[in-house]
Amino acid sequence: MKKPIRRRIDKGKHADRDEYGHGALGDVHIHKMSLITQIQDLFPDLGSGFIVKLLDEYDNDPEQMTAHLLEDSLPTHLKQADRAESMIHENNKQSNDIVPDLAPRATPPLLPSRRNIFDDDDFDKLSISASRLHIGRKNQNLTADTILSDRTTAPNKAAILSALAAFDSDDDERDDTYDASDVGGTVDTALPGADDLDADPRDRNEEALFGAYKMSPAVFERDANTRRGKARAALKSETGMADEAIEGWAVMLARDPRRLRRLEAKFSTFGGAQRELAPTAYRESAAGASGAEDSDGGGGGGRGGSGAGADGLSRERRGGFGS
């Protein structure tokens, strides 16, 4: 039984244009275009149409085709063909019909211009007077010595001294909450009986100023009579400070109640003596502690000690009752 012969179905004249799904190159596949490019790199004088014929002849084998070109062993119909022939696609004839007319587009907007605070000023509008323009320094005769000798803009000396007097490096006080109950004793930087010359002169001045302020705040007034008074002269002699610094100290103290309370606690309640702390370690009486040490290894030194410590305590009590 013979097999039925399959006949080719005619799809039309332009059915092969989209055979590979591209439609851009017509009857030439993109892979074949890459092969054409490779051959033209080796033989730039060959046209793309002639290379397509070679690829069809040698089944798209570029190595075999290159070997025949180098050996000049091409078939007769290829030797007689035009080597500069280029590909002509059918769809190029209808390119004017395929490509639609493009409507003219509007001009794209310009990029936004850069703006700053000097826009629309006299320089920007070029309307500034030439008398206001200068090249280099405005005052050619101005020197550094002239600027330093000009004291019109110099800061006030009284303001500087007041700021220095108001500066206190002890603003962040040390936490002394547990100093009184500390086992090792209280912490005190001022040793009783130490020489006054070893103390901080700033503390001495502050103590003198605070004492004068508590006795008579009028000593710190800013009028001329107060400055010439005996109390102010004595305060200046004791502290070595100027009138502006003394008055600035009083002004800053009046503005800072927290500092006033700190100075009151520092200079009003402190008598200069070391606080006495009760001993916390266990000790035996003087009569029963002869030869004993306050250590855990001693026979009668601990709380649980017996023998001589207990007998000595009993004898002390009996002797006290008997006398």
pLDDT tens, 252-282? 888 888 888 888 888 765 455 555 666 777 7
Residue predicted with more confidence, 26 or 116: 116
In terms of residue numbers, what domain contains 24?
18-92
Q: Is the pTM of this model over 0.85?
A: no
Residue 33 lies in a domain: yes
Tokens of 174: 């040390």
Domain boundary residue among 271, 289, 316?
Answer: 271
- Residues 66, 164, single domain; the answer is no
What is the C-alpha to C-alpha distance for residues 198 and 201, in angstroms, rounded to an integer?
Answer: 9
- Residues 59, 161, single domain; the answer is no
Confidence category of residue 164, pLDDT binned at 50, 70, 90: confident
List, for residues 198-237, the tens digit of each pLDDT value: 556 677 888 888 888 888 888 888 888 888 888 888 888 8
- Residues 160, 250, single domain; the answer is yes
Please state, rounded to an integer, the average pLDDT across all residues of the chain.
Answer: 71
How many CB atoms neighbour CB 282 within 10 A? 10
For residues 208 and 234, the answer to whether their CB atoms sit within 8 Å is: no
Quote the number of domains for the chain.
Answer: 2
Residue 81 lies in a domain: yes
Confidence category of residue 302, pLDDT binned at 50, 70, 90: very low
Domain boundary residue among 271, 292, 315?
Answer: 271
* Distance set, CA 163 to CA 2, 160, 185, 252, 273 (Å): 121, 5, 38, 9, 33
For residues 251 and 282, the answer to whether their CB atoms sit within 8 Å is: no
Residue 241 lies in a domain: yes
**pLDDT at position 282:** 74
For residues 218 and 226, the answer to whether their CB atoms sit within 8 Å is: yes
Residue 226 lies in a domain: yes
Residue 317 lies in a domain: no
Query: Which of 1-15, 41-55, 147-161, 279-293 comes out lowest in average pLDDT?
Result: 1-15
- Residues 164, 57, single domain; the answer is no
Residue predicted with more confidence, 6 or 281: 281
Terminus-to-terminus CA distance in the chain, angstroms? 154
- Residues 160, 88, single domain; the answer is no
Residue 47 lies in a domain: yes
**pLDDT at position 323:** 40
Residue 190 lies in a domain: no
For residues 260 and 249, the answer to whether their CB atoms sit within 8 Å is: no
